[in-house]
Amino acid sequence: MLSDRKISLQTETKTMEKEKVEATVRTIKQSFRLLMNGVTAQSMRDKGVQYKLNWGASLLHLREMAAEYEKDYDLAIALWKEPIRECKILAGLLQPVDTFLPEIADIWIDTMPTVEIAELTSMNLFQHLPYAPAKAFRWIADERELAQVCGFLTIARLLQKKGDMEDRVANEFLDQAVSCFLAGSYAVRNAVSAALRRFMEHSEEHAFRACRCVDGMKDSSSEGERLLYEVVSAVVE
């Protein structure tokens, strides 16, 4: 009887917690109307940035909104599941690092909707994860565009905080950076460029290594190789 009572109380508690999260999500979604910016939302659509629902809320307003809530795993997960731009951004801001397991990070990568969300989630969440270096290197080896964007932008952030890399890791990074830049989209190239700049700014040795990777690309017949040469050269000039 006591065991049944305990199970009943646990079930009731979980139900109450779920209802609380659902109520909070509804409140947050309703508040987006006050932040609506139709011009911004239309501008995103004109540039090809598509969301099922986009209120055009500014990042400043969303950060202010996030500051009104405690970081909460269940709330962040619920917000991420919403097909709404502002919910995705808030999810990254409200997700606690210590309860965000590696397999959940992969699920978020699998469901990453746009380059904008990839950039913001890398900045607001991924770079702070204790397993960020290992995940980032897996993501840059992924064939999917947004996985690569998240990987390189996370590496860029990590390099900004601690620029050193072991030789083997540095070689792997440079090989993948060159490969992804030459084969990647505009967004991937931007992410690779950001990571390369941070890598090269750390030391002359890092800069020399990057320069060796683009040796001979200045006058290449490949536009991608010429662009990569320009990215690297701009850092050392």
The per-residue pLDDT for range 105-160, each reduced to its tens digit, is 999 999 999 999 999 999 999 999 999 999 999 999 999 999 999 999 999 999 99
First to last CA, the chain: 77
- Which pair of structure tokens corresponds to residue 94? 């409200």
- Residue 16: predicted pLDDT: 76
pLDDT in tens, 176-223: 999 999 999 999 999 999 999 999 999 999 999 999 999 999 999 999
pTM (2 decimals)? 0.90
* C-beta separation of 231 from 196 below 8 A: yes
Percent of the chain predicted with pLDDT > 70: 95
User: Taking a C-beta distance cutoff of 8 angstroms, is the pair 207, 235 a contact?
Assistant: yes
pLDDT for 3 equals 64
CA angle (83 as vertex; 186, 16 as ends), nearest 5? 140
Give the residue with greater pLDDT, 13 vs 234. Answer: 234
The pLDDT, as a whole number, for residue 47 is 80
Tell me the average pLDDT across 17-33: 94
Query: What does the alpha-carbon distance between residue 168 and residue 170 come to, in Å, rounded to a whole number?
Result: 5
Q: What is the SS3 assignment for 84?
A: strand
| Phi, psi of 84, deg, nearest 5 | -130, 130
Q: Are 192 and 180 in contact (CB under 8 A)?
A: yes
**Whether the Cβ atoms of residue 35 and residue 61 lie closer than 8 Å to each other:** yes
